[in-house]
Amino acid sequence: MKRNYRNLTSVVQKNAENTARITEQTSGYVVSETGSDTLMQTSFDNSTAVAIVKHLNSNFVKLAQSAVRDLDPTDKLCFLRVATRKFEYMVAPDDSFTVTVVL
């Protein structure tokens, strides 16, 4: 977890301008550790963030990743966009952490 947190901090610092823009223009975000789904950083309250990670990252993203691998074993899911009536969720899974942005 500490190594992943350092990686996350490094990515945020390298992309400070984009991070600030995204934070200002969204309803919120959740960053979780890939694999364990442990919350690393969020702008939501804890229960909302846990629900987003549980339902989107644990279930939906893994299903989408599996579908991509089934279609082409050499390919990898880079980005998932889900639009609902109320919100739009953009999920970017990575080897170390997964970023979920809610618009």
Task: Match 């999920």 to its residue by tokens.
Answer: 91
Distance CA 35, CA 80 (A): 17
Q: How confident is the model at residue 16 (pLDDT cuts 50, 70, 90)?
A: confident
* pLDDT at 78 > cutoff 90: yes
Give percent of the chain with pLDDT exceeding 90. 50
Beta strands in 1-103 (DSSP E): 28-33, 39-42, 80-83, 88-93, 97-102
Whole-prediction pTM value? 0.81
Q: Average pLDDT of the chain?
A: 87
CATH assignment at residue 75: 3.30.450.30
- Name residues whose C-beta falls within 8 Å of residue 7's C-beta, 6 or more positions apart in sequence: 96, 97
* pLDDT at 2 > cutoff 60: no
Instruction: Name the token pair of 31.
Output: 């960053």
Considering only CA atoms, which of 28, 32, 23 is closest in space to residue 5? 32
- Residue span of the structural domain in which 41 resides: 2-102
pLDDT at 58: 83
Q: How confident is the model at residue 80 (pLDDT cuts 50, 70, 90)?
A: very high
Number of domains in the chain: 1
